[in-house]
Amino acid sequence: MDFIVLGGGVSGLSCGIRLLEAGHAVQLWARELSPHTTSDVAAAMWYPYLASPKERVLGWGQRTYEVLRSLAGRPETGVQMVHGAELFTETVQDPWWASSVPGFRRAAPGELPPGYSEGYAFEVPVIEMPRYLPFLLERFHELGGRLRQREVHSLEEAWSEAPTVVNCTGLGARTLVGDEALFPIRGEVLRVSPSPTPRFLIDESEARGMTYLIPRATDCILGGTAEGGVDSLTPSATEAEGILSRCRRLLPEGTPLNVVEHRVGLRPGRPSVRLEAEHLGERRVIHNYGHGGAGVTLSWGCAEEVRALAEAAR
């Protein structure tokens, strides 16, 4: 093997695919695969949430937007372009990431639910992870990638079979490489079917509580929560009621919400994304983790930087 990629979520698979496309021999090691990864719980829509530094995130996000938009409309990918709005009750400036989204504009009054005075209107990729992750895995196999489902306790295990390791272990990097800057950001979501809205709606107000509705092909993801430092994966009935209450505020009165699933995931929080190459003699590790709530949003941009770092080191 030229490279061993650690991690079976969206970051690991995207990195594996880009390395294989460049002609390298790649093996991916993962403790968990879809549908049991953190990526499977993601809402998931393009939105640079809880990730920094902004300058690097902007570049990674722009590139990922382009790739996801090129995949949209192909049923096997689970990616579709969806219009929607982010909502506010006060005057706000354009967000720092606005230049990444073609057609970004201020919402017209008729696009705002009652009680909101401002909003952004834009179109972004929405990714149905139970379809997208198998699509990525199939692409990885088509390109000749090899998969081993196994838990890794040290980089030495991977270095014994390849000179370069790509570390996409998310929160697992806390123990794998001793990164104490990592911390869990607990998030709960509900899946309802059918979707109560054809467009996504977001209210990120801390005072009112994080609220989002993200429609997909046959259902809709409602959220959410962001509890830093909390690592429980047990769903909370109280949080579920809070999510439903906040989401109903954005919908016409009486809109039915039929909950079919309640899930919890742990986002890999970090003061900044760690994407860098580390050389230890003849051995190398390329770290790619700590994406917060933007793992999907940054996936292809980060994967292409990983490939560039990998090839520069050879």
Binding site residue list for D-dopa: 212, 267, 293
Between CA 167 and CA 28 the distance in angstroms is: 10
How far lies 182's CA from each of 171, 177, 185, in Å?
Answer: 6, 11, 10
Partners of 142 in beta bridges: none
The binding site comprises: 38-39, 152, 169, 212, 267, 292-297
- Per-residue tokens: 73: 């409309």
Between CA 64 and CA 301 the distance in angstroms is: 5
Report CA torsion sign: 286, 51, 263, 254.
Answer: negative
- Cβ-based neighbour number of residue 304 at 10 Å: 18
Could you give the maximum distance between any two Cα atoms of the chain, in Å? Answer: 64
Between CA 229 and CA 186 the distance in angstroms is: 7
The binding site for FAD comprises: 38-39, 152, 169, 292-297
